[in-house]
Amino acid sequence: MSQLPPTLSMMHPADATEVMSVEQLAYSPGWPATAFERELTQNGMARYIVLRDAGTGRIDGFAGLWLMVDEAHVVTVAVLPESRRKGFGRILVAGLMAVAIEHGMTMATLEVRVSNEAARGLYRSFGFYEVGTRKRYYADNREDAVIMTKEDIQGEAYRRRLARIAAGIEEQYPGIDLIPAGLA
C-alpha cells in the first residue's frame, strides 16, 4: 500500500494554534502567539500555507510571504524538527513560489541566517542568489542575515526550473499537488 503524499493548503485562522506549536519547536524564540492570526486577519499582504500529513492531518510545516507591489517577500519557512530531511522545506518553498506567481509577482526576496547553510542551499536551488547582508538582524542572538533575491519569476526559464524541482518532488511523493488548495 502506498503512502499518501503530504498536502499543501492555504493557512486559515483556525490553523494558528497548531502553526504556533510548529513555530515554537522550529525556532527560538519564535513569533508571539497572536502573530499568525493577526497576519491572516489584518495583513492584506500576507499569504501563508501549511503542509499536512495526509494520513493524520497534522501540520508538519508552514511558510509565508508578503505580496508587496510586484515583490513576494518570504517571511518564514518552518518544518517540525522531527519532520526535517524529508523534502518538506522544498515542498513549502515550491508552494510559496506558486502563490507568488499566481498573484503576479515578478520577483522574490528573503532574509536567512548566515549560519543556516541548509536553507541557503535550498533557496539557491530555487534560483535565489545573495545580494547583501543585514547586520545583527536576528533579535535572539544578533546574527547577521543574508539577503537573497530572485528576479523574473514569471519568465519561461523560471517556470522550467520550477518544473524540474516539481518533478523531483513528485518522484519522492507521487501524486502531490504543489499548488496549495484554496489558492485564489
CATH number at residue 101: 3.40.630.30
111 is catalytic: yes
- Please give the tally of structural domains in the chain: 1
Do the domain assignments include residue 90?
yes
23, 39, 48, 123: the catalytic one is 123
Closest CA to 150 of 159, 142, 141: 159
Residue 84 covered by a domain: yes
State the pLDDT at residue 34.
79
In a domain, 39, yes or no: yes
Domain that holds residue 108: 7-172
- Is residue 80 situated within a structural domain? yes
Q: Is 137 inside a domain boundary?
A: yes
Q: Out of 18, 111, 143, 170, pick the active-site residue.
A: 111
Tell me, yes or no, whether 14 lies in a domain.
yes
Q: Residue 178: which region, alpha, beta or left (left: phi > 0; alpha: psi -120 to 50)?
A: alpha
CA distances from 94 to 51, 62, 159 (A): 11, 12, 11
Check: pTM over 0.85? Answer yes or no. yes
Question: What pLDDT tens digit does each residue of the chain (184 aa) get?
Answer: 348 899 999 999 999 889 988 988 888 666 776 788 888 888 999 999 999 999 999 999 999 999 999 999 999 999 999 999 999 999 999 999 999 999 999 999 999 999 999 999 999 999 999 999 999 888 778 889 999 999 999 999 999 999 999 999 999 999 999 999 888 6
Please name which of 7, 56, 1, 26 lies closest in space to residue 169, comparing C-alpha atoms.
7
Answer yes or no: is 35 within a domain. Answer: yes
Inside any domain, residue 179: no
